[in-house]
Amino acid sequence: MSKKITIAIDGYSSTGKSTVAKQLAAELGYVYVDTGAMYRAVTLYLMRKMLVSDTHFDEEAILRHLPFINISFVFNEEVGYGEVHLNNENVEKEIRLMEVSQQVSKVAAVPDVRKMLVKIQQEIGKNKAVVMDGRDIGTVVFPDADLKLFMTASTEKRAERRYDELKGRGDEVKYEDVLANVKERDYLDTTREDSPLVKAEDAIEIDNSDMNLEEQFEKVLKLAKDKIEE
């Protein structure tokens, strides 16, 4: 019986972290956790409560609401992975909206939000056999992860992918707005005081600017199998 490992996948927004993490977890029979979806779900809750918007950010009220936010993953056989639920409501589609993308980095910078979600993430992954992707998995959530990957790609390529994804889903968006959002999220993610996005010293960097999904998956799968067989 092969050993079980913890796989941490970090990186910039729209680098395909979630896609390759889902593929990898399915191939290995591991649990997949999209931590970005957790932050998006919290953001959606706060937006619904009118506590977060382009012109309003009430951190004191946010802290008061955190005890009422329950984030869970419910496995969906049709898609093959756990979809994020907010207080027992499937919000997998709502959290991907551009409006949520524009606010999530601000919410993710709140220390108490990070503390709450990191605790949940560590509990989920305590028994290993997990693939978790996000911004601080290899540095904060699982600093002792067996395999750490850091995904990156050019800003323009990431904006193009995100734009295609949103348009393919029927959202009315402009490429210029998506590009601006990607740049803003990069700035907020890398400059926040609490757990900024950085590449862990022992992480393997993968620039997928010129890779297709199949090439990316093959590379990541080989790295995972090599680590399992060590």
Query: Rounded to an integer, what distance in angstroms lies between the CA atom of residue 95 and that of residue 163?
Result: 16
Is there a binding annotation on residue 105? no
Is there a binding annotation on residue 101? no
Phi/psi at 163 (5° precision): -60, -45
Is there a binding annotation on residue 19? yes
Is there a binding annotation on residue 4? no
Q: Got the DSSP string for 184-210? A: HHHHHHHH-SSS-----TTPEEEE-TT
Phi/psi at 3 (5° precision): -70, 155
Is there a binding annotation on residue 17? yes
Is there a binding annotation on residue 55? no
**Identity of the residue numbered 206:** I
What are the start-end ranges of the E strands in the chain? 6-11, 31-34, 71-76, 81-86, 89-90, 130-134, 147-152, 204-207
Is there a binding annotation on residue 36? no
- Residues belonging to the binding site for ATP are 11-19
- Binding-site positions read 11-19
